[in-house]
Amino acid sequence: MKNVADIYPLSPVQLGMLFHTLAEESAEGSGVYVNQYTCQLVGPLNLALFRQAWEQTVASHPVLRTAFLWEGLDEPLQVVREAVELPWNLLDWRGSELQAEKLEDFLSCDRTRGFDLAQAPVLRLTVVLLRDDVCQLVWSSHHLLFDGWSLPLIWQDMLSFYKGLSQEKAPDLVVRRPYRDFIAWRQGQDTEAEAAKRERFWRSQLSGWGEPTPLPAAYSTGAKRVQAYQQQSKRITPEVTQRLTKTAQQYRLTLNTLVQGAWALLLSHFGGFGGGSSGGKGVMYGSVVSGRPPELSGVENMVGLFINTLPVCVEIQPEMAAVAWLKERQQQLLALRDHEATALTDIQKWSDLPAGGPLFESIVVFENYPAAVDLDLDFSVENVRYIEQSNYPLALLVVPGESLELILLYDTARFSSAVVTQLLAHVELLLSAFLERPIARLCELPRLTEAEQRLLKAPRQVDYPRELTIHELIEQQVERTPSAEAVVFEGEVLTYRELDEKANALAGELRSRGISAGDRVALCLSRSREMIVCMFAVLKVGGTYIPLDPDYPASRLVYCLEDTAPVLVCTERSVKLPSTTFPVLFVDDPLLNRDFAGDQNRLGQPSDLAYIIYTSGSTGRPKGVMVSHRNLVHSTWARTDFYPEPVGRFLLLSSIAFDSSVAGVFWSLCTGGTLVISPQRIEQDLQELASLIEREKITHTLGVPTLYGLLLESANVRQLATLTTVVVAGEACSRRLAQQHYSKLPGATLYNEYGPTEATVWCSGYRIPAELPRGPVSIGRAIANTQMLLLDDDLQPVPTGAIGEIYVAGDGVSQGYLNQPERTESAFIPCPSSLSPYTKLYKTGDLGRYQPDGRLEWLGRSDRQVKIRGYRIELGEIEDALRGHGSVQEAVVIARSTGLATGLKTGLETDLVVDNESLVSALLALPAAQADELLATVEGGGG
Ligand code: AMP
Ligand code: MG
C-alpha cells in the first residue's frame, strides 16, 4: 500500500463520534464535531516559517495525518498517512472594511464546511492578514482527531518548531507516545470479564431512570442546525473563585464537583424525573471525562481523542445537607472514572430510557487542560477562541483559573439568549449558595436570583374603587350617561336610565318579598334585556345572583338549587323549571311597580357575594364559586387598565351562567358601553351571527377561540368591519387563529385572556401582535393587583423557562366553593409570605411557563379537566354520572381532539369505547331518560 504508515481500529469514543457525524451529516449537512481554534498573532511573524512549522507539526503527529475509512469494511479503521499536504489558505484583508463582520461570517462558514473524513489531513489552516503586524489564525479540525486536552500540546509543539526554524536550531520537543499505544492498551482491556463488569456497573447506575430530563423551553425555529451554536460566558470574580476553591478544599471537594452539583440542582428546577427512592427528583446530564487512563505512562502528554461523555444520574434529596450531597456526587464521579472507557452507545443500550432519544441533552465539561508553555517568541497570541461544536443542545464549559469562567454553548434553535443568560446566573447563584450555606438542606437553596425575587414579589398595584360595590359603579355610569344605550336585545333598546328604573322597580318587588343583603337569588331566565335587569336588581338589594341556564338538564338545575338554597328563584312563564320547593317570581308577570329608588340605605358591602357560578367538579358535584363585590370590581376595573379602547358596542355571546359573561356585562355597563345580547344558540347559525355583528355595529366581543375561528372562516369579512377588539378566552388560542384573524381583520386587535372562574374571570391578558413571536400564543402577563406564580410540587417557584403549575394571588381570588370546605381548602391555600404580599393562593391546575420577557405560556392541565367548546368539564364528573347507572360498573372517559371517548364496563362485562357522536347510540341500551341526562351532562358541563 502506498502512503500508509499505520492502520488501527477506532476507540469506542471515536466510533460513537463517527457514527453521529455520519448520521447528522446525512440529515442536516456538515459541520458536526468540527472544532475551531482561532486567535490573533500580533507582532512580527515570519509567515513562511510559520507555515513550515505547521507542516513539521503535522509530520510529527500521526493523529494529524489520520484518515477514517469505513465503506466496505467490517469495522471502521483509521489510517495514518506517511505524508500529507497541509491545507493552507492565505487571505489578505488589509485595508478592507468591516473586518470583524467578515471574520464572523468566515468563521461560521468555515465551521459548517465539514471535512471529508477519508482524506487526510482532516484539518485546515487559514491565515487572514488584518494589518501589517496582525493576522488571524483559523485552525479547524474534526473532533475525531484529538480532544481539548491535546490542543495546547500540539500548539506548544508547533511553536517549538517555529522557534527552532527561526533560530536555525533543532527544535526542543517533548517526547510523545503515539495514539496507537492507547488503542493497543484499550484492546488489552477488552476481555469478557471487563466487559461484563462495565455492563453491570452502568446498568446499576441507570436502572430506574426512565424519563428524559427536561431543559428550559424548547422551540423549533426551523433555524438550520449547522449554524445554530452560540455561546455566552460569565466570569466569577477572583475573590469568589478563591473562596470557592477554599470551601471546596475545606470539605475535600473538587471545584468540578461543585459545578456539577450546581448543574444537577439547576436541572432539577426545570423538572426532572420523579422516581427517586428518597422521594426526590432525578436528573441526568452528561459529564465529559478526560478518559486518559493513569495506568498508561506518559498519557498526559499524548495527543489524540481520549475524552468521553458519560451519563451522570443524580438524585436530588431535598432534605439532605448540601455538603453531604456534594460528597456523594464526588464519590459518584470517582466511581464513573473506573468505567470511563465505556462507549456511550453501549451505555445507551443498557438504559431504561426510550430507545431512539438521547440519554441526556446537556453536558458539563470541566476544562482542566494543561497550560501552554511560554516560549518567549517575538509575536504574542491574543483573543484566543476555541469552539467545540457538540451535538448536545446545551454544554456548560468550565474553565478554571484565577477567575473561574463558565461558558454555555447552546443550540439557538432550542434556546433564546435570554434563557441562557438566566441559566448562567443560576449556576452562579447555586455556587454562591454552596459557599454561603454549605450545610443548608438542598430544598432551602435559592431558586431565584435577587432580581427575579423582586420581580416576582411585586405585583403591579393599581388603585381602584375598593370601597364600592359593582352596582354602585353601574349607578355612577347611569348618572354619567343616562340616555346612552345600555342593553340591546333583538333590536330593542334600554337606555342607562331605563335600565336603572326597571332594575329599581324589580328591586322594590324583591324588597317587598323580604329579600335583603346577603340573600341568594337564583336567575333561571332566557336571553333578554330582562336578564340584565334582574342581575342589576338583585345586586341593588344587596343580594347574590346565581345564574342558571334554563337549558341545563333538570338534574343539574335541581342540584344547583338545592346547593344554594335560594331565597327566591326568578324565572319566566316560558321556562320549564323542575319543580322545587323554593319560592318563585315570574319576572314576566306585571310588577307592582314599588318604588325602590327612595331607599337610602346602602345595600351590599364590598365583601358581600355578588354572584355564585357553577363549574364542573370531579366527584360528580359541580362547584359553586363564590365571588365578592371586591373581586368583581377589581376584575372589571382591571379591564380599563389593560384595554386601551373603551367599550363601544359589546356583543354578549356567552350564557350568563358562564363566567365569561361577567366580563362583557360589567365591563360594558361600568364604562358606558352598549351591551348587545345575542339571541339563544346563535353559535349554531354563523351567518346570522355575522349579520348581527354588521347590523348592530359591534366593536367588542369575547368568546371561545373555536367559535371565533368558525366565524372567521364562514363570515364575509365586510360584515365584521366594525370590530376593533376581539377577545378570545377560555381555551388555548392557536397560532393559526391569530394568523387568520390578522389576515382577515388587520384593523382589529386580538386579545387572549386567561383565567379560571375561581380567580374572577381573568387573571392575565395578552395583546396578540400581528407579528407572532415563536412558541405557543402567550396568555400574557398578570393583570393589575394580581400575581401569577409558577410553582413546583413543593410550592417553590420554578425558574423562567421551566414548567410549573399556575397559582394565582391577588384581589381576584374568590371566596371559595359553596358548601365544600374541603375542596375550598385544597384549592385555596395559604400563601407563603416569601412569595407574595397576598395571603391566599388559588391553585389552578393549569401548567405554564414564563418566557424571559415575563410573558406566560399556557401548557395544558396537570389534572383531568378538559375544555369542550369552552365548557369546563372534569372527566371524573362524567365517569361518576355513568357509574351511577345500575348497569355500569366502571367507566372511563378520556378527551380526544374530536370530543370525548367513553369506556364503559357494564354488568354484562362488555367493554365499549365510544366517541362523542356514538355515545348516543351506545347509551341507547340505557333507559332513554337516563341516556339524555348523561348526554346533557357531557354537553353542558357548566361555566
Ligand atoms: P373557566 O373557569 O370555565 O373559565 O375555565 C378556566 C380554565 O380554562 C383555565 O383553568 C384553563 O384551563 C382554561 N383557560 C382559560 N383561558 C384560557 C386561555 N386563554 N388559554 C388556555 N386555557 C385557558
Ligand atoms: Mg372563564
Which numbered ligand comes closest to the C-alpha of 874? 1
Q: Distance from the CA of 756 to the center of ligand 1, in angstroms?
A: 5
- Split at pLDDT 50, 70, 90, the class of 927 is very low
pLDDT over threshold 60, residue 919: no
Torsion-angle region of 79 (φ positive above 0: left; ψ -120 to 50: alpha; else: beta): beta
Q: What is the 931 CA–ligand 1 centroid distance (Å)?
A: 28
What does the alpha-carbon distance between residue 469 and residue 607 come to, in Å, rounded to a whole number?
9
Nearest-atom index, ligand 1, CA of 943? 3
Q: In this predicted model, what pLDDT tens digit does every residue of 306-326 receive, in sequence order?
A: 999 999 999 999 899 999 999
Tell how far the Cα of 630 is from the centroid of ligand 1, in angstroms.
Answer: 22
CA of residue 487 to ligand 2 center, whole Å: 22
Q: Which of 862, 872, 873 to mutate to test the pocket of ligand 1 (most atoms within 8 A of CB)?
A: 872
**CB contact at 8 A, 76 and 11:** no
Ligand 1 atom closest to residue 865's alpha carbon, by position in its atom list: 12
In this predicted structure, the answer to whether residue 434 has a pLDDT above a threshold of 60 is yes
pLDDT band at 917 (very low <50, low <70, confident <90, very high): very low
Supply the residue whose CA is at minimum distance from atom 21 of ligand 1: 732
For the Cβ of 615 lying below 6 angstroms from any atom of ligand 1, the answer is yes
pLDDT of residue 263: 97
Share of the chain above pLDDT 70, in %: 90
Q: For residue 686, report the distance from its CA to the centre of ligand 1, in Å.
A: 24
Output the CA 729–ligand 1 centroid distance in Å. Answer: 7
The more confidently predicted of residues 548 and 877 is 548
Measured from the Cα of 871, ligand 1's closest atom is: 3
pLDDT reported for residue 352: 85
- Cell 456539577, located at residue: 260
Judge whether residue 102 has pLDDT over 90: yes
Query: What mean pLDDT is reported for the chain?
Result: 88
Specify whether the CB–CB gap between 879 and 938 falls below 8 A: no
Name which of 22-36, 189-203, 640-654 the model is least confident about. 22-36
Predicted TM-score (pTM) of the model is 0.77
CA of 160 to the centre of ligand 1 (A): 69
Ligand 1: residue whose CA is nearest its atom 8: 730
With CA atoms as reference, report the closest residue to 288 among 230, 336, 329.
Answer: 336
| Residues 6+ away with beta carbon under 8 Å from 91 | 126, 127, 128, 129
| The 609-615 sheet, strands edge to edge | 584-586, 568-571, 520-524, 544-548, 609-615, 623-628
For residue 335, is pLDDT > 70? yes
Counting ligands in written order, which one lies closest to the CA of residue 727?
1
857 lines ligand 1 (CB under 6 A): no
pLDDT at 918: 42
Nearest CA to ligand 1 atom 5: 756
Question: Does the C-beta of 165 come closer than 6 Å to ligand 1?
Answer: no
- Cα 939 from Cα 9, distance rounded (Å): 67
Give me the mean pLDDT over the 820-824 stretch: 95
Question: Are β-strands 485-489 and 544-548 bridged in parallel, bridged antiparallel, or unpaired?
Answer: unpaired
Q: Whose CA is nearest to atom 15 of ligand 1?
A: 730
End-to-end alpha-carbon separation of the chain, Å?
A: 82
User: How many A from CA of 871 to the centre of ligand 1?
Assistant: 9
Which pLDDT belongs to residue 599?
Answer: 60
Is any atom of ligand 1 closer than 6 Å to the C-beta of 754? yes
Q: Please tell me if the CB atom of residue 729 comes closer than 6 angstroms to any atom of ligand 1.
A: yes
Ligand 1 pocket test target in 616, 658, 858 with most atoms within 8 Å of CB = 858
Q: How confident is the model at residue 241 (pLDDT cuts 50, 70, 90)?
A: very high
Q: What is the pLDDT of residues 128-152, one digit of tens each?
A: 999 999 999 999 999 999 998 999 9
What is the 611 CA–ligand 2 centroid distance (Å)?
Answer: 14
- Statement: residue 941 has pLDDT above 70: no
Cβ burial of 463 (10 Å; 0-12, 13-18, 19+) is exposed
**242 CA to centre of ligand 2 in angstroms:** 55
pLDDT tens digits along 618-650: 556 789 999 999 999 999 999 999 999 899 999
pLDDT, residue 67, reads 97
* Nearest CA among 143, 159, 153 for reference residue 177: 153
914-920: average pLDDT = 43
CA 934 – CA 782 distance, rounded (Å): 37
Substitution site in 767, 867, 871, 875 for ligand 1 pocket (most atoms within 8 Å of beta carbon) = 867
Name the strand (E) or helix (H) holding 808: strand 803-810
* Extended beta strands in 662-718, E state: 674-677, 700-703
Taking the centre of ligand 1 as the mean of its atom positions, its distance from the CA of residue 90, in whole angstroms, is 62
What per-residue confidence (pLDDT) applies to 923?
45
- Residue 68 cell numbers, joined: 477514517
Q: Cβ(895) to ligand 1 under 6 A?
A: no
Asked whether the predicted pLDDT for residue 388 surpasses 70, the reply is: yes
Cell 374530536 maps to which residue?
898
* CB-ligand 1 contact for 867 (6 Å cutoff): yes
Angle made by CA atoms 865, 866, 870, in degrees to the nearest 5: 130
| β-pairing verdict for 674-677 and 649-652 | parallel
CB 91 within 8 A of CB 333: no
Instruction: Tell me the C-alpha to C-alpha distance, in Å, between residue 225 and each of 21, 228, 422.
Output: 13, 5, 23
Amino acid letter, 191 = T
Average pLDDT over residues 736-752: 97
Nearest protein CA to atom 12 of ligand 1, as residue: 846
| CA 422 to ligand 2 center in whole angstroms | 33
Beta carbons of 526 and 489 less than 8 angstroms apart: no
Is the CB of residue 706 below 6 angstroms from any atom belonging to ligand 1? no
Other CB atoms within a 10 A radius of the CB of residue 58 amount to 23
Least Cα distance to 856 among 943, 752, 710 occurs for 752
pLDDT band at 343 (very low <50, low <70, confident <90, very high): confident
Residue 868 alpha carbon to ligand 2 centre in Å = 13
More confident residue, 514 or 908: 514
Instruction: Assess whether pLDDT exceeds 70 at residue 901.
Output: no
Indicate which residue's Cα is closest to atom 10 of ligand 1.
Answer: 756
* C-beta of residue 801 within 8 angstroms of C-beta of residue 777: no
3 state DSSP class of 110? helix
Distance 641 CA to ligand 1 centre (A): 21
Rounded distance, CA 472 to CA 452, Å?
Answer: 39
475 in contact with ligand 1, CB cutoff 6 A: no
282 within ligand 1 shell (Cβ under 6 A) = no
Decide whether any atom of ligand 1 lies within 6 Å of the 635 Cβ.
no
pLDDT (tens digit per residue) in 47-59 = 999 999 999 999 9
Residue minimizing CA distance to atom 22 of ligand 1: 731
Shortest-distance ligand to the CA of residue 757: 1
Q: Which atom of ligand 1 is nearest to the CA of 659?
A: 4
Query: What is the Å distance from ligand 1's center to 731 Cα?
Result: 5
Q: Which of 819, 546, 527 is nearest to 657 (CA)?
A: 546
Which ligand 1 atom sits nearest the alpha carbon of residue 625? 2
Chain-centroid distance of CA 778 in Å reads 11
Question: What pLDDT is attached to residue 924?
Answer: 39
Cell 446499576 found at: 204
Ligand closest to Cα of 661 equals: 2
Residue whose C-alpha cell is 484492546 = 187
Determine whether the shortest distance from the Cβ of 659 to ligand 1 is under 6 A: yes
Establish whether residue 757 lines the binding site of ligand 1, counting it when its CB lies within 6 angstroms of any ligand atom.
Answer: yes
**Following DSSP, what letter does each residue of 487-543 receive, concatenated?**
EEETTEEEEHHHHHHHHHHHHHHHHHTT--TT-EEEEE--SSHHHHHHHHHHHHTT-
Ligand 2 geometric centre to CA of 867 (Å) = 11
Residue that has been written with the C-alpha cell 470541566 in this structure: 366
Closest ligand relative to 858 C-alpha: 1
Q: What is the pLDDT of residue 613?
A: 97
